[in-house]
Amino acid sequence: MMGKIMKKALFSCKRATELIDQRQLEPLSRLDNLRLGIHTRMCSACRHYQKESEFLDAVLTRGLSGKKGGLSVEEKKDLIERIREHENRD
């Protein structure tokens, strides 16, 4: 019984990184926020990914866009999609 509860409460690192990226674009549900918090407390790799993602978002929002106010949500989505396409080619 406890195993089923833990399995539903937790998810893979792949899903955690997707939620970390998604959170930069839109709010997560309470359940996803809770599950992500649990996962990142237990997983040092995902904690590191989250810190790097937050850093990149701050840089893109504040500085590299060349525009006051940083990148728009659409520009961020486009950039994430281009990065994922590049990752899939390797």
Domain count, the chain: 1
Handedness of CA 39, 45, 51, 54 (dihedral sign): negative
The residue range of the domain holding 41 is 2-89
Contact present, 39 and 11 (Cβ < 8 Å): yes
Res 1: pLDDT: 53
pLDDT under 50 in the chain at which residues?
2
What per-residue confidence (pLDDT) applies to 63?
62
Write down the pLDDT at residue 8: 58
pTM: 0.63
